Amino acid sequence: MQEGKRQKQIGGLIQEEMTGIFQRLGMSMMDGGMVSISSVKITPDLLEARIYLSLFQVADRKATMKKIEDRAWEIKRELTSRVKHQLRRMPELKFFQDDTLDHVFRMEELFKQIHEEKPKTEEDNEQGPRNEE
């Protein structure tokens, strides 16, 4: 189902505020890597915000997600104080790991591997016939 206009507005607002909150609370750099908010999806009833986190070069992803979930009350308190005049009710925050970058890197590695394994004869045929005079 497609997101409505209000869902997108609230999602954008929460994503923008959450980025600042993560930086202020020192959560943008955790476990030797970088944590960023890749997207925020709001349910149609506006009662739940699904926050997708991109973890770049984080040593232990599960431990990092656990640390973030343990501080969810603190994050929600900060967020509530920033958006209380724009929202009637603060949505419940749910954190998820966004593994899109992992898939992109995996696909690049596969394409690189396929290209390296391609036989030389195929590469020569792709270049076309040579004029040897």
Domain ranges of the chain: 5-123
What's 4's DSSP letter?
P
pLDDT digits (tens, 9 = 90+) for 45-103: 989 999 999 888 888 888 888 998 999 999 999 999 998 888 888 999 999 988 777 77
Question: In this structure, how many other beta carbons lie within 10 angstroms of the beta carbon of residue 91?
Answer: 22
- Residue 121 clears pLDDT 60, i.e. is over it: no
Q: Domain 5-123 - what CATH class?
A: alpha beta
pLDDT of residue 81: 92
- Residue 128 clears pLDDT 80, i.e. is over it: no
CA distance 99 to 79: 25
Once rounded to an integer, what is the mean pLDDT over residues 8-36?
A: 88
- Whole-model pTM: value is 0.73
Helices (H), 55-99: 61-70, 72-83
CA distance 71 to 41: 20
Rg of the chain in Å (alpha carbons): 22
Tokens of 126: 């792709």
